[in-house]
Structure 1
Amino acid sequence: MSATAVDVLVKADHDKVNYLLSEYAKAPTTEVKQQLAYQIIRELAMHSSKEEEVLYPAVKSAFGNEEYEKLLEEHTELKKALATLSSMNADKSEAAFDAQVASVKRIFEAHYKEEEDVELPKLLKAEGVCKMKLGEEFEKAAAHAVTRPHTWAPDKAPLNKIANMMTAPLDAAADIIRFAGNVPSVNPPAV
């Protein structure tokens, strides 16, 4: 596996979610909205899992517990919003479903803008931080990243990695059902 810089990988994840959110805004039916919401949930759960396992411990090492805890709190808020969305059905109340997607979007946008504009550049300037090494670890974490928001799961090392490794196969099985055997990959168009 050739390593990619962690900032490139994080931005690519953010771009996938932004693409899905833009597709959601154009969705013609509740069925399409439901499937896009499932994809948004999946991408954000995987992304959060990788960040909590790789990036946030690096933040803690470089800057201490306060910034680390702040980032985890943001993820907790996002996971709760995703869990609520995951439990909803677009057909039952499209307006409520749209409102919950809007809530997820608001939380995600605030988080990713802060991350891309402040947290990542600051981390990558810290002494002893290698963006290629972090990128390699981030890519490896994808192999056991969860695809659902597990608000009950630990978000701190080493328990988060153990929980992810145990839960990810169950999520993968549930995704086969959720996506009718065809788990989509998200490839936003190049800008």
Structure 2
Amino acid sequence: MKTGNNATIATIFNRRSSGKLNPPGPSEAELITILRAGAAAPDHKLTRPFWFIVFEGDARLEFGEVLAESMTRRSLALGIEPTQGQITKEKTKFLRAPLVIAVAAKKHPEIVLPDEELICAGAAAAQNMLLAATSFGYGSMWRSGDVLFDPFIKEALGLAKTDYLIGFLYFGSYKDGIAPEPNDPELSDIVSKWES
């Protein structure tokens, strides 16, 4: 893979998902830069629909109670009793990294935009934050799942039913300080040139 000396291109290829991240996480100054990078993402009509909720320290464990309640409610609605192991797993999810950021896109009722554009803007903000963290040398993980569409979770985060929860971003240091190998995507199956 040829990336030249361009630091931005190198950061893109070096960003890899890491399931378990250790302390230390980003410093306060680095966190502000990561959040600013998210807010700098492209969005139609410059509505800045972004909303970021930061979880550090004990807040991660406290929100774990909310995650466990959410999973329990969804399971019971399907007639399934969750196991104690499943409940514990939900309670400790945010402890997989020293910093977690929930990324949302808030709908502005006075501005008419397709919902898809809000989702795209939120996703662009999330990617900007992942890249910013990579540029500082941190690992990251973008987590999603049924929890993103749970009204109980949205309410707990202060989001309206019409807002979109884009994902939970985990940030921290790589285990043993060793980053995964850079991504080297194969293009043959995903690129074509349009011809009339």
TM-score with structure 1 length normalisation? 0.29
Please tell me whether Structure 1 or Structure 2 has the larger radius of gyration of its CA atoms: 2
Structure with more strand by fraction = 2
